[in-house]
Amino acid sequence: MAHAYVFPGQGSQFSGMGKNLYESHPASKDLFEQANEILGFRISEIMFNGSDEDLKQTNVTQPAVFLHSVIAFKTLENPRPAMVAGHSLGEFSALVANEALSFESTLMLVSIRAQAMQRACEMNPSTMAAVLALADEKVEEICQAVTTETGEVVVAANYNCPGQLVISGTIKGINIACERMKAAGAKRALVLPVGGAFHSPLMMPAKEELAAAIDATHFNTPICPVYQNVVAKAVSDPAEIKRNLIDQLTGAVRWTQSVQHMIADGATRFTEAGPGKVLQGLVQKINKEMLVDGVS
């Protein structure tokens, strides 16, 4: 019976996040203050008292979700992960949990990633859309057809669970693809309120910037495997972890496949550490037999 720990990504933030951890766990206060110092602004104040709009700023959102997730994990008494995974940004939290990276160095990488992604979004106006109740293969086929016929970038970006896939690309390309998805039988094809085409080739400028930072960062041999988004399988080699973490910015989040491989490798319980319960819901949609819980 293997215990897996999973960590959420951008979109799980909420006003007041982490305040309960700060107030109820003395060690958490030190980590929040350390984060404020590393980032150069009081992210704790924004997390505890900021508006939803304040928390939507990418340079705040990503460090905030990371910070909440890692601190929530560290409040657990002697956690013994057999395997870890994170959804997009959450992969950085997972790499702290399995001790591949230190808290300090990862927070710096998350900050660099957030700022680089923001700049990439400003360079290439773009967006994402959720497609419901259409086979993955059909979604991929339509994305490829739109790209080939129009020259617009449209790719499958997040394989969240069976029947829920997020696509990413230029605004024009996504709008065309959404119409075709609905015509092909999708229950919904809904453009999301995001500022860019994450996990697509349009993130290439950010990938290059992040790659330099990751290459300069020391990674340890982890205490357990991480199931990385772009390969959806167990990885323990630090050099391979680095490569996959870099490729993640322009590659797909294969969450469905990752969870399926974790279950095949013995996972019977999934604990989500961080804000919200999104991943708990996705795990149960992937396999309803799994035990799921969370710490936030």
Q: Are 278 and 130 in contact (CB under 8 A)?
A: no
Q: Are 210 and 88 in contact (CB under 8 A)?
A: no
Q: In which region does residue 266 sit, left (phi positive, over 0), alpha (psi from -120 to 50) or beta (all else)?
A: left
Is 88 tagged catalytic? yes
Residue tagged active-site, from 44, 88, 168, 296: 88
SS3 state at 137: helix
* Catalytic pick among 44, 199, 200, 296: 199
Length of the chain measured in residues: 296
- CB within 8 Å of 41: residues ≥ 6 apart: none
Whether residue 3 lies in the annotated active site: no
Residues 6+ positions from 245 with CB-CB distance below 8 Å: 91, 92, 95, 214, 228
Of 57, 91, 112, 114, residue with least CA distance to 241? 91
Give me the sign of the Cα torsion angle 240, 243, 246, 250. Answer: negative
Residue 200: CA count within 13 A, CB half-sphere = 29
| 233, HSE (Cβ side, Cα atoms, 13 Å) | 3
Residues with a catalytic annotation lie at 88, 199
